[in-house]
Structure 1
């Protein structure tokens, strides 16, 4: 027998090629599994070429590593045929592991086909030497090589199928698996080579006309490495592109979720907004129509929020709204919806077992809101007014229910606040009137519909006026002359009172400037400040700018604030009143005795006068309690060195009693009714 030998360097090269081909096959299997349609088919075709050339190259490098003491060569046709078999076997294997599942029967069939393909490629490649006489094979080693081919093919298919999905450390696992697969393929090849026996006198029929060994090894290795490198590089680039695409898709999905969140939820409180609430109401209507039952839509408006927002700033106001949302949401059930409609308005959608259960829910929420909120070490108190619309009964659509719940809320607010009210159909008329009034109020200032009337003030000891109180009136184009009680509350709730109050202050100072130039230099004009206006951050600058604009001495202006407003936040009031006093403006505590005062704070307030409420003056002659209260107020004012003003004087007896008691000045219908500035000037004597 002819004795063969091996080139160790080429043997190692064949092993490296086998491992690289195995890794490429495993990587491409993952690409195929994540593709579909034409993309999957292209990956199978490209993978079959890369893997087939790689396995075939390993075989031929191994063949070239083997040498006999005779010239060797390889038939081109048979060599190319063995390459085709390797490519087809690889394509079948890749198509198989690209399936969604790999049951045992399919794995067995794939093992037989791929194992037969590898064995056929190997032995056809050896036959390409055209040995004469033919190669004699050891039957045991021949059978062992076939068994190794089958086991290697089955293992390769199973490993490729298991590692085709992306997972942590998958590249490292694939490298280990590729090493085992490469060793198995090389083991099959060299077992088959060991089975071959070449009798003495044999010669290679393809030595003279076949492929030349000298350049064949280099060409095969270079081409194979190039093909495998291209396949791997393409796979890696595709994987990165896929990962980038997945990342972009995740980013887009996250952006869509965020946009949906923004579109359907309030940005401040993270509660559902009006759009999502309307959808939930529609769903609840459909459910009740389908299954029966009841639900309530409640419209909740915070009482006292705007003064807090103006006094402490929007930052604290936002914190308060978030705290309110959290408190209202705490005890809700999963099927209930709390939404923020806008500003300080919330809506609550609640499923009910019976219509009367709505009262208990509304009462609970009002009670929760009544508990103080502690923000930035500041205790804040608000309340809530709730309007309730029931379904079925109070509306057939979400629009009707919202409108009717809103109307019921305004009824609750008009009835004293901090309460709830069920919708009644008569409220629709009130709601429409309210809406029309609000629309008219928004344009009344720019249309010049507001006017000031002046009620004179007189010294208690004489007949001479000492000034006047400016009283706002609205000359409504359809409703005629409206008193403040009919629109001031609405102006305060909507914030329009700030602009209206600034106009009143400017107009009163303008008129006082005319009286001042006419010789009434000892007069004072009094202007009432609402609670909202008093808490507004721009009050001080507005007062200073108005006095400068009309060149009016500060002591010609008296600003009146109610006792309740002054005591709501005494420390803050002290700071504001102190700065007004530094300007030289007179300060009056209006409606004194109707609220609650701390004498400790009262003596610290830089006020100049106390104004006795007309409610005490009205029954002064018949009610001894009122007389005692007025006497106490006068005594208190004198002790604090304050001027005392009594309003609502309508009889001579009231005037005499108040004068004798020690009041400094009086005003009321007995002395002079409110009227335009021109009318007041006509009634009064010229200045001395």
Structure 2
């Protein structure tokens, strides 16, 4: 039996909140990656890149499962496999980390961006469909191949744009603007993928998938990644260099004036005409 699928069980609330979480993860990830590229920051580069990848991955995963709160199947009970749900979170963070570390250490050349963007985009798509495979229904899910392919292309494009922005856009305002675009692309990828879903039921599940138990499960799953995003936000907000503009980037240190207070005294030599005419 073909079931009726609804992606907006709570109206516009879930897509809007999902989009905002994707934007938050993208914004924090961009600022952390930006911080890793500052001159004299090599000792902490890996740490900032790892935090940025975790923020972006957590934001994408949080977006996905907030959006899934609004997903329902008429006359069917909807449950999730906990192990696969958590595995999808790990996949999201790891694949984003691969892309971020590639561009963080090798730069934003076309070849590097292509490799990192495709790798990360495929990983984001894998996270989405792995998360979907965690759904248990009294039947099975089917996917339209063309729509799935379109969602993967959107994921690759969004990932490539995100990685380019991470190493190319340094200003705070520009980073925030880029995060809004990235959030839209990632959320668009999710709902494109959901448009590919069809459900065939073997029988009736008896209750709606918007049950309290399902809601509590998804909220419990979201607690960890949301906490990570809050922690990343605190680190970003309390790091003063995060809000510096482009003019502070990659500027060589100005040579100390010989007359400045604290400057080392110059030793006279035979080549100094002031002492040895």
Match of 2:192?
Answer: 191
Q: Is 1:16 aligned with 2:20? A: yes
Match of 2:69?
Answer: 64
Q: Distance in 2 between matches of 1:112 and 1:252?
A: 41
Q: Distance in 1 between matches of 2:14 and 2:80?
A: 17
Q: Is 1:283 aligned with 2:263? A: no
Return the TM-score normalized by structure 2.
0.82
Q: Distance in 1 between matches of 2:124 and 2:204?
A: 26
Using a 3 Å threshold, how does the CA distance of structure 1 residues 101 and 214 change in structure 2: closer, same or farther? Answer: closer
Contact 2:56 2:93 (8 Å CA) reproduced = yes
Q: Distance in 2 between matches of 1:231 and 1:144?
A: 32
Q: Is 1:4 aligned with 2:8? A: no
Q: Is 1:88 aligned with 2:94? A: yes
| CA displacement at 1:99 relative to structure 2 | 2.0
Q: Distance in 1 between matches of 2:15 and 2:239?
A: 33
Match of 2:54?
Answer: 49
| CA displacement at 1:146 relative to structure 2 | 1.0
1:308-347 to 2 correspondence within 5 Å? 339=274
Match of 2:226?
Answer: 225
Alpha-carbon deviations, 1:146-187, whole Å to 9, x = none? 111111111111111212x4xxxx111111100100000000
Match of 2:45?
Answer: 40
Match of 1:30?
Answer: 34
Using a 3 Å threshold, how does the CA distance of structure 1 residues 46 and 71 change in structure 2: closer, same or farther? Answer: same
**Structure 1 segments of 4+ aligned residues over 6 angstroms from their partners:** 250-253
Using a 3 Å threshold, how does the CA distance of structure 1 residues 33 and 127 change in structure 2: closer, same or farther? Answer: same
Match of 1:476?
Answer: none
3-state SS, counterpart of residue 199 of structure 1: strand
Match of 1:74?
Answer: 80
Contact 1:10 1:64 (8 Å CA) reproduced = yes
Match of 1:101?
Answer: 107
Match of 2:119?
Answer: 113
Alpha-carbon deviations, 1:476-532, whole Å to 9, x = none? xxxxxxxxxxxxxxxxxxxxxxxxxxxxxxxxxxxxxxxxxxxxxxxxxxxxxxxxx
Using a 3 Å threshold, how does the CA distance of structure 1 residues 260 and 173 change in structure 2: closer, same or farther? Answer: same
3-state SS, counterpart of residue 71 of structure 1: coil
Unaligned runs of 5+ in 1: 265-274, 285-336, 340-346, 348-397, 402-688
3-state SS, counterpart of residue 136 of structure 1: strand
Contact 1:33 1:99 (8 Å CA) reproduced = no
| CA displacement at 1:138 relative to structure 2 | 1.3
Contact 1:131 1:202 (8 Å CA) reproduced = no
Q: Distance in 1 between matches of 2:197 and 2:179?
A: 27
Q: Distance in 1 between matches of 2:254 and 2:163?
A: 37
1:186-265 to 2 correspondence within 5 Å? 186-201=187-202, 212-240=213-241, 258-259=260-261, 263=265
Instruction: Name the one with the larger helix percent.
Output: 2
Using a 3 Å threshold, how does the CA distance of structure 1 residues 117 and 130 change in structure 2: closer, same or farther? Answer: same
Q: CA RMSD in A?
A: 3.1
Q: Is 1:157 aligned with 2:163? A: yes
Q: Distance in 2 between matches of 1:23 and 1:232?
A: 9
Q: Distance in 2 between matches of 1:4 and 1:179?
A: 28
Q: Distance in 2 between matches of 1:25 and 1:95?
A: 12
- Bigger-Rg structure (1/2): 1
Q: Distance in 1 between matches of 2:145 and 2:204?
A: 22
Higher relative contact order (CA 8 A, sep 6+): 2
Return the TM-score normalized by structure 1.
0.35
Match of 2:151?
Answer: 145
